[in-house]
């Protein structure tokens, strides 16, 4: 389910609105594997992003947009010292068995795993998770980055794979990843005009956070007239 908005040149910034492509009635599919993105997934990740957030672009601009997303994705995984960022992918027809992979698990190329799968599968959904805190309110007079909060953005599922529980599984994997980083909570911004996405996040335990009157909390850089619901969930230690 997508919410349309004014086409802007904001995609060139390298940051897009979070959480716009989700299912309303998820049914978990056993054929989906959710894992961290590898270098081999880059083009399909960019393609999934563009087909979900910019579905009406004509071919030439669409191709340029995919290249732009690809570069933003690669360079966007470079983060400040002490911060973490990863891209999660939901892959169909893949195997979780590392027997079908070659390469070094610990080697990273521009933030992506360098391991290559011989049974790659097809990227059906994506999610970005980080602790950079760009869209979280700073703390103290020195406006320091907040720690202990993981941030979710760019949740997208290809149209043909929606309503199969993919967004729910991506969120669950993001929570597991956030715990492994030592995060105490997880947060996101959701378009107020996307009730399907809001209901999904609420069903997963997220709660809306009221922004103090007069406060200027940072928001994703998208169309200037877009309004967001800031949502957060406390993570248990299990």
Q: Encode pLDDT of 158-169 as tens digits.
A: 999 998 999 999
The answer to whether position 11 is within a domain reads: no
Query: What is residue 78's predicted lDDT score, i.e. its pLDDT?
Result: 67
The answer to whether position 193 is within a domain reads: yes
Residue-range definition of the domain harbouring residue 186: 32-94+119-234
The answer to whether position 103 is within a domain reads: no
- pLDDT tens digits, one per residue of 179-218: 999 999 999 999 998 999 999 999 999 999 988 877 778 8
**Structural domain count, the chain:** 1
Query: What is residue 201's predicted lDDT score, i.e. its pLDDT?
Result: 97
Look-up of token digits 């967004």: 167
Maximum C-alpha span of the chain: 55
- pLDDT tens digits, one per residue of 17-43: 444 444 444 444 447 899 998 888 888
The answer to whether position 14 is within a domain reads: no
**Helix, strand, coil distribution of the chain in percent, nearest 5:** 30, 25, 45
Q: Please tell me the distance from the alpha carbon of residue 168 to that of residue 26, in angstroms, as a whole number.
A: 7
Q: Please tell me the distance from the alpha carbon of residue 90 to that of residue 225, in angstroms, as a whole number.
A: 31
- Concatenating the DSSP letter of every residue in 155-185 gives EEE-GGGTTSSHHHHHHHHHHHHHHHTT-SE
Share of the chain above pLDDT 70, in %: 65
CATH (domain of 176) = 3.40.630.30
The answer to whether position 111 is within a domain reads: no
pLDDT class of 106 with cuts at 50, 70, 90? low
The answer to whether position 15 is within a domain reads: no
Q: Does residue 43 sit in helix, strand or coil? A: helix
Q: Please tell me the distance from the alpha carbon of residue 83 to that of residue 231, in angstroms, as a whole number.
A: 21
Q: Does residue 159 sit in helix, strand or coil? A: helix
22 secondary structure, DSSP code? -
Closest CA to 113 of 88, 79, 150: 88
The answer to whether position 2 is within a domain reads: no
The answer to whether position 23 is within a domain reads: no
166 secondary structure, DSSP code? H
pLDDT class of 105 with cuts at 50, 70, 90? low
Mean pLDDT of 208-229: 81
Q: Which residue among 5, 10, 57, 201 is the active-site one?
A: 201
Active site residue 201: yes
- Relative to beta strand 112-113, strand 116-117 is unpaired
Q: What is the mean pLDDT of the chain?
A: 76
């Amino acid at each position: 389910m997508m919410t349309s908005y004014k086409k802007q040149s904001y995609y060139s910034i390298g940051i897009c609105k979070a959480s716009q492509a989700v299912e309303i009635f998820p049914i978990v599919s056993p054929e989906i594997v959710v894992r961290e993105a590898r270098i081999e997934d880059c083009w399909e990740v960019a393609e999934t992003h563009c087909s979900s957030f910019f579905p009406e672009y004509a071919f030439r601009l669409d191709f340029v947009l995919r290249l732009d997303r690809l570069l933003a994705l690669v360079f966007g995984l470079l983060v400040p010292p002490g911060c973490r960022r990863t891209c999660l992918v939901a892959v169909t027809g893949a195997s979780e068995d590392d027997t079908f992979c070659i390469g070094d698990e610990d080697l990273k190329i521009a933030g992506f795993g360098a391991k290559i799968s011989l049974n790659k599968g097809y990227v059906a959904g994506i999610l970005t998770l980080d602790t950079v805190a760009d869209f979280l309110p700073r703390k103290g007079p020195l406006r320091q980055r907040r720690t202990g909060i993981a941030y979710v953005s760019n949740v997208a599922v290809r149209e043909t794979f929606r309503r199969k529980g993919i967004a729910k599984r991506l969120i669950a994997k993001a929570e597991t990843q956030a715990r492994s980083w030592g995060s105490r909570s997880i947060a996101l911004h959701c378009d107020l005009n996307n009730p399907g996405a809001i209901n999904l996040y609420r069903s997963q335990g997220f709660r809306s956070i009221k922004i103090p009157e007069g406060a200027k909390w940072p928001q994703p850089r998208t169309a200037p007239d877009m309004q967001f619901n800031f949502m957060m969930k406390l993570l248990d230690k299990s």
